[in-house]
Amino acid sequence: MTDTEIAELLKAGRPEEALARLLQAYRRRVFALAFSFLRDRDAAEDVAQEVFVRLWRALPRYDGRASLSTWIYTITRNASVSALRARRTESSLEDPLVLQAVEESAAEVPDDAAADRASLLRLVDSLPEKQRQVVILFYMDEHSHEEVSEMLAMPVGTVKTLLHRARARLAASAGVVQSSEAI
Partner 1 sequence: MNTPRMDASGQDDLDRRLRRAFRGIDTREGFEARLMARLEAEAAFHPQPDLSAAKIRADAEYRSARGQLERWVKALLRMLVLDSVAAAAALVAATLALLEVGTRLSASLPSVSGMTGLLEIIAGPGLVFGVLLALSPLLATRLTGSLRSG
Stretch that binds partner 1, among 66-74, 81-89, 151-159, 175-183 (CB under 8 A): 175-183
Question: In angstroms, what is the minimal distance from the CB of 160 to partner 1?
Answer: 13
Tell me if 163 sits within 8 A of 143, measured CB to CB.
no
DSSP helix/strand/coil, 74 = helix
73 binds partner 1 (CB under 8 A): no
Closest CB 2 distance from partner 1, rounded Å: 19
Q: Verify binding: residue 179, partner 1, rule CB under 8 A.
A: yes
Contact flag: residue 87 with partner 1 (CB under 8 A): no
Provide the CB-side half-sphere exposure for 65 (13 A, CA).
2
- Under 8 Å between Cβ of 69 and 150: yes
Which residue in 123, 125, 122, 103 sits closest to 114, CA to CA? Answer: 103
Among 84, 102, 154, 156, interactor with partner 1 by CB under 8 A = 102
Residue 21 near residue 1 (C-beta atoms within 8 A): yes
Q: Is 108 in the site for partner 1 (CB under 8 A)?
A: no
Asked if 106 is part of the footprint of partner 1 (rule: CB under 8 A), the reply reads yes
